[in-house]
Amino acid sequence: EAQVTQNPRYLITVTGKKLTVTCSQNMNHEYMSWYRQDPGLGLRQIYYSMNVEVTDKGDVPEGYKVSRKEKRNFPLILESPSPNQTSLYFCASTKTSGRSYEQYFGPGTRLTVT
């Protein structure tokens, strides 16, 4: 079954404690991205990756890092989380072959930073 998995699904942490949210896809997609969802703002792209070792900033990258060492994994790293990073995070994996475009979303990670 084609899927995008994220872990953890829920996380409560304290300001400044480094954390990583993992994301994995089993569809061999080259393009992956991270979004955050906030009330009244919809989803905004944090970072994206066009392929292994190729990453770039999205619309709201401040306070986040990513890496893409393998095609299937795209972890999101918060080196020093702050309360304004409390949000719902979605990883997405995108099929981009030819004229076809389909975006698959993970189940989401609800992060609370106190």
Nearest CA to 70 out of 1, 35, 23, 16 is that of: 23
Q: Which residue has the tokens 């953890």?
A: 8
Structural contact between residues 32 and 94, judged by C-beta atoms closer than 8 angstroms: yes
Q: Which residue has the tokens 């995070």?
A: 89
If the CB atoms of residues 58 and 63 are measured against other proteins, the closer one turns out to be: 58
Q: Where are the alpha helices (DSSP H) in 28-112?
A: none
Minimum Å distance from CB 40 to other proteins? 5
Minimum Å distance from CB 39 to other proteins? 8
Q: Which amino acid is at 68?
A: R
Q: Would you tell me which residues interact with other proteins (CB under 8 A)?
A: 31, 33, 35, 40-45, 48, 58, 90, 92, 94, 96, 101-103, 105-108
Nearest CA to 76 out of 99, 92, 94 is that of: 92
If the CB atoms of residues 9 and 18 are measured against other proteins, the closer one turns out to be: 9
If the CB atoms of residues 19 and 31 are measured against other proteins, the closer one turns out to be: 31
Entry field: residues in the chain: 114
If the CB atoms of residues 65 and 105 are measured against other proteins, the closer one turns out to be: 105
Minimum Å distance from CB 29 to other proteins? 10
Minimum Å distance from CB 106 to other proteins? 6
